[in-house]
Chains A and B, each alone.
Chain A
C-alpha cells in the first residue's frame, strides 16, 4: 500500500478559452516517485489531455517549474515523500501568460534576460593562442550566479513582477550580475545604463521570495543588492 495523494490541477483550454480545475487521486507506491512521475502517471493512465512541460527529468534543464500549494518548484526533482501534504493544489507559474493547463509562456523569461546584454563584453580581440588569466578568487565570485537554469521559479514568486510586468525581475538581474562580477568583462558601464533604473535594480523590494524558491539555491535578491552596491561605489 502506498500513500494516496489528492491533486487539484488548474486547467486552461485555449481553444474554448475556459479555465477549470481537475481532481485526480493517485496512489504512490514507489518511494522515489517525483511530482513529474505523478503527472506522467495521470497523463498515461487517467487523462491524456493533462498538459505540462518537461524535458531532462533531473533538475537541470528548467522546463518543468510549476506552483504547488503556493510555491514554485521543479516537478522533476520534487520527491512526493518530501511534500508536507497529501492534498496538492497545482497551478502554472504565477504571473506568466498560460498557454495550456500548466504550460506557461517562457518567452517572458527570454525577453527579460535578452535586455541585460547577457554576454561577455570584450572590446579588444583576445590572443587566440591562449586563455586569459582569471584567478581562482575572481572565478569564485561567479559561484552562485552562473548556475541559473532559467526555470522561472524566482520570477513567478516575485510580488514586484506580479504588479509591474516591466520589472526586469530576479532571473535577468542575477544573470546580469554574473557578467558584472566577471573579471574579464568590459561592458559594465553599458550594462549599468540598462540596470540602474526603477525597472532594474531599484525595482526590487527585497522580499527575497526568489531566494526561498530557487531550486539551485541561488540568491537573486543578494545579486541585486550586490549590483546596487557596485553602482553606489561606482566600482565599474
Chain B
C-alpha cells in the first residue's frame, strides 16, 4: 500500500459523461424493481432499470431460500385473513393493517402470476404449487397449529423468482443499465427529476432524467459483522433519501435471522425448521420448549433469535462456544436432497459439515431491515413521513417501509413484500404518469455526486476505509444486535461520532476512474454509517421492547407510549424524530404468546 502521508501527485477531475432521458427510471433490479419495471413497460412507458451489479440476476433477492407466503390452500385449508393476522401478530402489532391486508390478499394472485410467467415451483402430487411450514404461519387466527403456506422451489425460491422476472422483463424489452451506481437524487423541492449515477466500468457521472424515479435498492446488512446479506447491501437508497430531506421510518427494527451458519452468517433457511429441523443446545436439549412451548422451532424469528442468544449467553452453546446446533439429520437423505439441496451444499462448502450426517453449527445473523423509506400503500414516498407526497419519487422492497413488517417480519413475507408492493408501485406510476413531468435539469444537478467522489479521490488522509468499516461492523455486532441496552447503545453512539471524524481523514490510494471498487466501497461505507446511525439513535430513543427491538433495560412492550412509528430525519445540523400512528383496522394489540 502506498504511504498515505505522501501527497497525491494529481488531482482527479470527475467528468459528466452523459445525460439520459426515460419515462421511468428504476434503481435496483431485485424483485421490487423488476416487478415495477414489468408493469410500467406493459403500459408502454419507456422504462429503464439500473443495478450496480454486473447483471440484474445478481441482485440479493436471489439469496431468498425458503419460500414466499400465500394462502393458496393447495394442501390444506388456509385464508388470507389468517395470513394477515399472522403478519400483524408477528409484527408485534406495529404493522399498518391496511398494508398487511393488501399483502395477504395480493399474495395469492402474485404467486399465480409468477407461475404463469414460468417460475419452476416445486409441485404437490396433484400438480399444484407445493407449500411448506414456516415460523409464525398458523391456522385460525393464531389459535391453530402450523399451516402449509410457504410456496417454494426447493430452497432456491429467490433464485427462481428473480430469474423469472428478469426473463419477463427481457421479453417485454425493458432497458437495463448494469454496473451503474446511483449516488444522488435530482430534486427540486419535494419533486424528483431523476438520479445521478456513477458508471463503474468507465468511470464518470451520468444524469438520468425521469418523470418517475423508483428506489428499490434493498437493505444494509453489511453494517454488522455477522450477516446473511451480500457485500452489496449497503443502504444506498436509504442514504439518497435521507439527503433529499426524506425521513427513514422504524429503523430501530432490524431482524436477526436465528439460523446463520457459524461464523460467517450465511443463511440456513427457516425451511429447515419448517421441514422439521430441531435446535439443540450443548446439553442436547430442544431448548425452544422453554421459550415458545407450543410453536417450538416454528415461533417467529425475533423469539427464536433471542432464545438462541440466551442459551449461548448462559453457557449452553456447543462446547460452551458461541453457537448452537440446527439438526436436520432425522429428515433423512431424500428430503434433504430434494427440499434443502442448497442448504446441504452450503454446509459442506462453507462449514465442512454434511447435514445428512452431522448437525449444523448456527448463530443468529443480521438479516433484514423492517424500516426504510416511508411510503403509502402504492409506493409513493412521503416527504414528511406521513402525509405529503414527494412528487415523482417511489420506493419499494426492503429499502422501503410501507409498513407490513412492523417490528418483526415473518419468514416468506420479504419476497412477498417486494413483489406485491413492487407491482403496486409500477401500477401507481402508470396511473400517476399523466400528471408527472420532466423537470428541467439544473446545470449543477450532478454537483453533489461530483464533490463526494472527488473528495474521496483527492483527500490526503491517513486512515483506510477498511479500518473504519471494521469499527462499524464490530460495534453494531456488539451493541446493536439481538439484545440492546442504554449503556451499549451509548457506546455505539461514541463509536459513530469517532467514525465521522475518521471519515474526514480517510484515504484511498487507488485513483483510477475505471472499475475503482475501493472508491465504491468508500462511498458505500458512508451509506452504511448513515443507516447504522439511524438504527442506533432510533434504538436508544425507543424505551420499550417490541419485536426485533429487545431492550434489556425496558423488557416490556409499552403500547401506551410506543404504539407508533418512528420517523428519523437527518441533515447536516443533526437529527430529529417525529412519530406517526399505527393503522389498526381489524386486529387490536394483544399480548404476543407462542
Contacts and interface: CB of A to CB of B under 8 A. Distances in A.
A58 to B, nearest CB: 4
B514 interface: yes
Interface in A177-197: 178-179, 182, 184-185
Given A61-B62, A133-B127, A150-B55, A49 B170 contact: no
A35 interface: no
A139 B515 contact: no
B63 A61 contact: yes
Nearest to A74: B349
A179 to B, nearest CB: 8
B116 A79 contact: no
Contacts of A106: 54-55, 178
Given A44-B466, A48-B509, A133 B62 contact: no
B53 A120 contact: no
Contact of A133 (B57, B128, B346): B128
Given A48-B510, A58-B266, A139-B120, A128 B349 contact: no
Given A55-B232, A135-B123, A184-B118, A49 B178 contact: no
B441 interface: no
Contacts of B125: 136
B487 interface: no
Nearest to A48: B518
A236 interface: no
Contact of B178 (A58, A77, A107, A182): A107
A147 interface: yes
A15 B54 contact: no
B167 interface: yes
A40 to B, nearest CB: 9
Given A44-B464, A99-B514, A122-B116, A59 B346 contact: yes
Given A57-B231, A120-B118, A184-B118, A100 B62 contact: no
A215 B517 CA distance: 25
A60 interface: yes
B118 A182 contact: yes
B576 interface: no
Contacts of A126: 116
B167 A32 contact: no
A109 B171 CA distance: 17
Contacts, number: 166
A134 interface: yes
B109 A182 contact: no
A83 B195 CA distance: 44
Contacts of A139: 120-123
Given A44-B466, A119-B171, A147-B159, A132 B63 contact: no
A211 interface: no
B350 interface: yes
A131 B115 contact: yes
A54 B222 CA distance: 14
Q: Which of A47, A58, A59, A126 has the largest count of B CB atoms less than 10 A from its CB?
A: A58
B128 A147 contact: no
Interface in B322-353: 342, 345-346, 349-352
B508 A48 contact: yes
A132 B118 CA distance: 10
A120 B240 CA distance: 36
B112 A129 contact: yes
Contacts of A147: 156, 159
Interface in A58-98: 58-63, 77, 79
B60 interface: yes
Given A48-B509, A147-B159, A79 B349 contact: yes
Interface of A: 13-15, 32, 34, 43-49, 51-63, 77, 79, 99-101, 103, 106-107, 109-110, 114, 118-120, 122, 126, 128-136, 139, 142, 146-147, 149-150, 178-179, 182, 184-185
Given A49-B510, A60-B63, 15 more contacts: A43-B518, A45-B466, A48-B510, A55-B230, A56-B60, A58-B63, A58-B267, A60-B62, A63-B53, A120-B118, A120-B167, A126-B116, A131-B112, A133-B126, A136-B127
Interface of B: 1, 53-55, 57-60, 62-63, 72, 109, 111-113, 115-118, 120-129, 153, 156, 159-160, 163, 167-168, 170-171, 178, 201, 230-232, 263-264, 266-267, 342, 345-346, 349-352, 464, 466, 508-510, 512-518
30 contacts: A46-B1, A48-B1, A49-B509, A49-B518, A53-B54, A55-B231, A56-B58, A57-B230, A58-B266, A60-B159, A60-B342, A61-B58, A61-B230, A62-B55, A106-B54, A106-B55, A114-B170, A119-B117, A119-B170, A120-B117, A120-B118, A120-B167, A128-B112, A130-B112, A132-B115, A135-B123, A136-B123, A136-B127, A150-B55, A178-B120
